[in-house]
Amino acid sequence: MATESVKYVAPETKPKTLLDVFRRPDQHVTGIRDWLTTIDHKKIGLLYGLVALCSLIFGGMQALLIRSQLWAPNQELLTPREYNQMFTMHGTIMVFLVIMPLSAAFFNFVMPLQIGARDVAFPRLNALSLWCFVAGAIILNLSWFFTGGAPAIGWFAYSPLTDVRFEEVARDLGPDFWVFGIQVLGLASLLASFNFIATLINMRAPGMTMMRMPVFCWMTLVVSFLIILAFPAITIALVELMFDRNYGTNFYDFLEGGKPHLWQHLFWIFGHPEVYILILPAMGIVSEVVPTFSRKPLFGYGLVIFSGAIIGFMGFAVWSHHMFTTGMGIVATSAFSMLTMLIAIPTGVKIFNWIGTMWGGKIRFDTPMLFALGFITMFMVGGFTGIMHSSVPIDMQQQDTYFVVAHFHYVLIGGALFGLFCGFYFWLPKMTGRMLDEKMGKIVFTLMFIGFNTTFFPMHYLGMIGQPRRTHSYNAGNGFEMWNQIATVGAFILGIGILLGVIQFMRSFRDKSLKPAGKNPWDARSLEWTLSSPVKEYNFARTPIVKARDQAWENNYGPRELHSEKEPLDHHGVHMPDHSWYPLFTAIGFLVLVIGMLFHSSLGADGEIIRNYTVPIIGGIIAITSMIMWSLEGPGGYHLFPEEDEE
């Protein structure tokens, strides 16, 4: 009965009444309702990627405005306030709406396939993470349209920039949008991370022991732990800030006994682990790509994982290297300086592992490998400058200059973004079923590599001769002019490169002229490459029984006893959970609640504050009702009966 063929009949899915539209969709739902109610990890991953790539273009345009403003001394293309808004939004968008969700896109799409799972542990919760992320993105970007416009406080939002008493614009809503936006984005990341942890711990296929998991899965696990332990610090810091701004508490109010310094500590206790949250996924990707294109197993698998975990662990103990100039005292400063130097060791270990992997390998220079090599070299430059400013006296010179800007762009673009682009060129064939055009890929890589270095390398020098960061303009005659112009030219080259890349990714979903990918176009090593491209909705027709690390490779080249097996076909078929509206509705509830909170207070005739909580309460009711309905509807589901080898 297992492989019995039942003729497929499409049931009537065209909704007739409004109520039909919101009925729980069955498995034959298509189009927009499918995407809005999907709980499939692959589609959720694609949606994360889509929103993040759009944000990348948007944040990139802001960066180009910043660079244009710095083209010549004392320009007035942007006002100082607009300039501050640009770099605030640019930084916030790039960190929270680009790099993190791009990583989440790969976690979602790739990780369950790599461990041989049907889906993540809690598919509907996963959808809620996605929609909370979208809600957070909406909130953040809405800020442009209301009193005061976008926040002008920097991505670090140092107090007292956020103090209501020092606002340039009366009743400025920008910082409030920022506070609530980050809060909702944090919620999204937390929920997603709980889910990934549960998945990686509990949903592995038989035989997939922890030490057989691909490095990318390990990095997913480490990053998830970093998120659940680091985000609470910023969440509470934001709650305190929210109370300060709305209810008159004094957490950061130095006129009434608070300490702005506390904000810096809480922010960087989150902020430093956050930079590892941004880089470790890219390191995981590169650890998959380098062995594939060197046709050798990863050199020192255990060490790569161990150093990743150590980085995650130590990442919590170095936050104050962002505060060397705040006067923390000799002991604290030296201790943090030493720990910061130490953390460079596990980072360096990984570099040597990648080099060791390539050593003696048969290297192929396809686009993913080019990006991986770009990652390794550029990340090294960023690492070196990081070690430079782990030394306190040196950092005293470099703090708040363009040198720091150069440092973190080398780790964030040269590192994280190159790593993520590497992931796209590597896994898009698995997502779309079509190969990307190699020639175009190489053009994108060249443009990005040249543009990136032209933009950011001169900034090292600019920083050392003293150009301050976060500053709207500079005077002529300090030797800044030429290097700023070079940087601006480079930025546009980089921008074109990124734009071409994004267009190439998007088009590959439609472009029928591209070569079909087949199961394993790269001769890659992990389980997802044993499946067809694009992957079927049920992933594995039969659960694989894993016998080795690099299972796909062993299946092709390894000894018989290391070939994977498959569990017998279940006469129940593959159980698929049903779609659900409630994750989306819950997120909409949160969105309404937040918008309501943003506008809940107004000034009365005598200047007293009038509070009205109707809208937040409505939002809360929507969210809670959706959650109750969610738990009552249950996972539901249906069964699919794929043929033996329809994977």
Partner 1 sequence: MSEAAAAHADEHHEPYTSTGIPTKKVLMWAFLGSDCMFFGTLISTHLIYRKISATVGTNYLDIRDIFDIELTSFSTFILLASSLFMALAVSAIHKGNLNSTRWMLFGTIIFGGIFLACQVYEFTHFAYAPGNELTLSSYRGEPHVFGSTFFVLTGTHGTHVAIGVFWLLGWLAYSFTGKMSTADAMDIECCGLYWHFVDIVWIIIFPVVYLMEYAL
Q: Which of 272, 389, 407, 460 binds Cu ion (CB under 5 A)?
A: 272
Contact region with partner 1 (CB under 8 A), list: 3-11, 41-49, 320-328, 356-364: 3-11
Q: Which of 142, 203, 303, 489 binds partner 1 (CB under 8 A)?
A: 203
Q: Which of 416, 498, 593, 595 binds ligand HEM (CB under 6 A)?
A: 416
Q: Which of 72, 77, 138, 262 binds partner 1 (CB under 8 A)?
A: 262
Q: Does residue 275 touch ligand HEM according to CB under 6 A?
A: yes
Q: Which of 85, 398, 508, 539 binds ligand HEM (CB under 6 A)?
A: 398
Which amino acid is present at 585?
F
Q: Does residue 327 touch partner 1 according to CB under 8 A?
A: no
Question: By the 8 A CB rule, do 199 and 112 touch?
Answer: yes
What is the DSSP pairing of strand 565-566 with strand 609-611?
unpaired
Which burial class, exposed, middle or buried, applies to 585 when counting CB atoms under 10 A from its CB (0-12, 13-18, 19+)? buried
Task: Kindly provide the b/e burial profile for residues 542-557, where b requires at least 16 CB atoms within 10 angstroms of the residue's own CB.
Answer: bbbbbbbbbbbbbbee
Q: Does residue 643 touch partner 1 according to CB under 8 A?
A: yes
Q: How far is the CB of 454 from ligand HEM (least distance, A)?
A: 21
Closest to 420 in 3D by CA, of 134, 210, 109, 140: 109
Q: Which is nearer to partner 1, 345 or 628 (CB)?
A: 628
Q: Does residue 378 touch ligand HEM according to CB under 6 A?
A: no
Residues in contact with 69: Cβ distance below 8 Å, sequence separation at least 6, in sequence order: 75, 77, 78, 83, 86, 472, 473
Residue 9 tokens, joined: 């009949």
Q: Which of 73, 260, 356, 573 binds partner 1 (CB under 8 A)?
A: 573
Q: How far apart are CA 169 and CA 147, in angstroms?
A: 8
Which amino acid is present at 451?
G
Q: Does residue 389 touch Cu ion according to CB under 5 A?
A: no
Q: How far is the CB of 168 from partner 1 (least distance, A)?
A: 24
Is the torsion defined by CA of 344, 350, 353, 355 positive or negative? negative
Q: Does residue 395 touch ligand HEM according to CB under 6 A?
A: yes
Q: Does residue 404 touch ligand HEM according to CB under 6 A?
A: yes
Rounded to the nearest 10°, the torsion over CA 408, 411, 412, 414 is: 120
Q: How far is the CB of 152 from ligand HEM (least distance, A)?
A: 15
Question: By the 8 A CB rule, do 176 and 142 touch?
Answer: no
Q: Does residue 525 touch Cu ion according to CB under 5 A?
A: no
Q: How far is the CB of 256 from partner 1 (least distance, A)?
A: 3
Contact region with partner 1 (CB under 8 A), list: 150-158, 248-256, 358-366, 448-456: 248-256
Q: Which is nearer to partner 1, 364 or 639 (CB)?
A: 639
**Structure-token match 């190159």, residue found:** 418
Q: How far apart are CA 48 and CA 37, in angstroms?
A: 14
Q: Which is nearer to partner 1, 122 or 336 (CB)?
A: 122
| Interface contacts to ligand HEM, rule CB under 6 A | 156, 275, 278-279, 321-322, 340, 343-344, 347, 383, 386-387, 389-390, 395, 398-399, 404, 407-408, 411-412, 415-416
